[in-house]
Amino acid sequence: MDAKMLEYSRHFVYFPGPECDPIDQANACLFLASDMGRHVKGQVIQVCNGAFL
């Protein structure tokens, strides 16, 4: 089922850039856990290298 869904979705998704690495998501988590992210409330932070813009 997953492979079929990925095959189908490739026709509708255009993403020319490189994919993100796990460290990119870890850095976002560290930001939110640090004092720098203390005023970020109720936001969805997408770490996707602009894939969903």
Q: Can you give the residue ranges of every domain in the chain?
A: 16-53
- What is the per-residue pLDDT across 17-51, written as a single tens digit (0 to 9) for each? 677 888 999 999 999 999 999 999 888 888 887 76
Give the pLDDT mean for 2-30. 80
Q: By the 8 A CB rule, do 13 and 42 touch? A: no
Give the pLDDT mean for 4-29. 79
Q: In 16-29, which positions are buried (b, 16+ CB within 10 angstroms) versus exposed (e)?
A: eeeebeeeeeeeee
**pLDDT given for residue 39 in this prediction:** 92
Cα torsion 29, 40, 43, 50 to 10°: value is -60
